[in-house]
Amino acid sequence: MFMHPDLLLVLANDRRRELIAEADRGRLLTIARAARAARRARKATAVRGHPTGTLASCEPSVAVPAR
């Protein structure tokens, strides 16, 4: 059984749109993962740059933060 040429064209166009949409989703996921990693890296460097526990406690039983 032969398919009508218009039907073949519609099927080919649908498949092409599906492939383009899949590639777009992949690019968006890659960009989102990279942005998340960049945020984590910025946060880690910002925290490491500041000393913690600079104020002395009045109570001797308070735990001192590890450095």
Structure tokens at 31: 């960009």
The residue ranges of every structural domain in the chain are: 1-67
| Cα distance between residue 61 and residue 55, in whole Å | 15
H or E, element range at 67: none
Of 67, 28, 27, 30, nearest in space to 51 by CA? 67
Q: Could you report the per-residue pLDDT of 8-64, keeping only the tens digit for each?
A: 999 999 999 999 999 999 999 999 999 999 988 887 766 555 555 555 556 555 566
Q: How many other β-carbons are positioned within 10 Å of the β-carbon of residue 38?
A: 10
